[in-house]
Amino acid sequence: MELERTIPASRISPPPAPARGWPGLLRLVHLSLAGWTWAVFAFFYIPILLLAVYSFNDSKLNIVWQGFTTKWYGLLFENRVLLEAFRNSLIIGAVTTLAATALGTAGAWILHRYRYPFAGWIGLLIFIPMVIPEVLMGVSLLSLFSSLGVPRGFVTVIIAHVTFCFPFVLIGVQARLDGIDPFLEEAAMDLGATPWQAFRLVILPYLLPAVVAGALMAFTLSLDEYIVTLFTTGSQSQTLPLKVYGMAKVGLNPQINALSTLFVAATILLVISGELIKKARSR
């Protein structure tokens, strides 16, 4: 998520070249804007960089550099508790991604394609899970599950994750649908495709960049979700963020540094590949 937060900063950089002959004031403004941009970058990335550096530090303490080692990575891969939490996170993330992507894509298409009463209100309601405070959402889901007598575990976490992930997919797909040729579906049906074939062979390929981007987004969101997970998970379905926080409370452990480094690297790879796919596809 670190990458996400820096987007506003990257928008103001690089500053446009100052107009020729303008007094120094404008130059000053541009320079300080550039400086601000770099400061924001530094603020976000230096901690991550330090984290990565100390994951190779041959000391149990984070503060002093003792020498290079990869032993924390070795220990990490023998750490049953963390590995199991990691596996749980992957399972929950994968299932959430599939469900949220399917739901978000289908939802966007249905909202776009069909007219029905209260369409505007339904469109608004869908976005509430995106903006509602996570604590509220956690509490409300918890009370829903317990009043229904559903035991907490994988199923409940996944339901919770899908609930806040699918609107992100929906928004992205909706944005792409805004620019669609209104007769694409009819053209396919005109050429002999059934409505389902038209969706699968024409509409879906057109939406694919947005669908892939949405899926990556959903996966990332699910993977590092803490609060909602805390409220809805059971003892057998502890996720990595929960475990890591639990460990960090006891004391900083270089294994967590190693794990976080791997995580950040994977996230960056995912986001970059998502962007690349989107670019290549929309060309």
Partner 1 sequence: MNTMVLLENVSKRFGSTVALQEVNIEIFAGEFLTFLGPSGCGKTTCLRLISGFERPSTGRVILDGRDVTGDPPYLRDVNQVFQTYALFPHLSVRDNIAFGLRMKKLPLAETRERVDKIIEVVSLDGLADRKPSQLSGGQKQRVALARAVVCQPKVLLLDEPLSALDAKLRHQMRLELKSLQKRLGITFVFVTHDQEEALAMSDRIVVMNLGRVEQIGGATEIYHRPATRFVASFIGDTNIVEAEVLGTDDGKILCRLEGGLQVLVRARNAPPDGKILVSLRPEKIRIHKTRPPGENVFRATVISEVFKGAVDDLTLRTEGGLELGVLDTNEGSDEVEFDVGEDAWCRIHPDDVIILGG
When asked if residue 187 is in the footprint of partner 1 (CB under 8 A), the reply is yes
194 lies in the site for partner 1, by CB under 8 A: yes
Is residue 39 at the binding interface for partner 1, with CB under 8 A as the rule? no
CA 175 centroid distance within chain: 18
Phi, psi of 68 (to 5 degrees): -85, 140
Q: Can residue 175 be called a binding residue for partner 1 (CB under 8 A)?
A: no
Separation of alpha carbons 131 and 8, rounded Å: 19
* Minimum CB–partner distance for residue 105 and partner 1 (Å): 16
CB of 180 to partner 1, least distance (A): 9
17 burial level (CB within 10 Å; 0-12, 13-18, 19+): exposed
Distance CA 46, CA 59 (A): 20
Among 86, 206, 231, 263, binds partner 1 (CB under 8 A): 206
Sign of CA dihedral 207, 209, 212, 216: negative
For residue 190, the minimal CB distance to partner 1 (Å) is 5
Residue 191 binds to partner 1 (criterion: CB under 8 A): yes
58 scored as a contact of partner 1 (CB under 8 A): no
CA distances (Å), origin 165, targets 3, 89, 279: 18, 15, 23
Rounded to whole angstroms, how far apart are CA atoms 3 and 10? 10
CB of 159 to partner 1, least distance (A): 34
Residue choice 68, 182, 251, 280 for contact with partner 1 (CB under 8 A): 182
| Minimum distance from residue 183 beta carbon to partner 1 (Å) | 4
> 155 vs 208, which CB is nearer to partner 1?
208
Q: Rounded to a whole number, what is the largest CA-CA distance in the chain?
A: 73
**Residue type, position 264, single letter:** V
Measured between its terminal Cα atoms, the distance across the chain in Å is: 27
> Which of residues 4 and 181 has its CB atom nearest to partner 1 in the complex?
181
DSSP label at residue 57: B
Which of 67, 133, 192, 251 binds partner 1 (CB under 8 A)? It is 192
For residue 68, the SS3 value is strand
Q: Which residues pair with 57 in a beta bridge?
A: 68
In this complex, which beta carbon is closest to partner 1, that of residue 67 or of residue 192? Answer: 192
Q: Which is nearer to partner 1, 215 or 221 (CB)?
A: 215
173 binds partner 1 (CB under 8 A): no
Q: Is 197 in the site for partner 1 (CB under 8 A)?
A: yes
- Using CB under 8 A as the binding rule, whether residue 199 contacts partner 1 is answered as no
Q: Which H helix or E strand runs over 101?
A: helix 80-113
Instruction: Identify which of residues 8 and 192 has a Cβ nearer to partner 1 in the complex.
Output: 192
Query: What distance in Å separates the CA atoms of residue 188 and residue 70, rounded to the nearest whole number?
Result: 56
Number of residues this chain uses to bind partner 1 (CB under 8 A) = 20
Return the residue of 49, 143, 190, 234 that touches partner 1, per CB under 8 A.
Answer: 190
- Please list every residue from 247 through 266 that binds partner 1, using CB under 8 A: none
| Residue 237: count of CB within 10 angstroms of its CB | 21
Contacting positions for partner 1 (CB under 8 A): 181-184, 186-194, 197, 201-202, 205-206, 208, 283
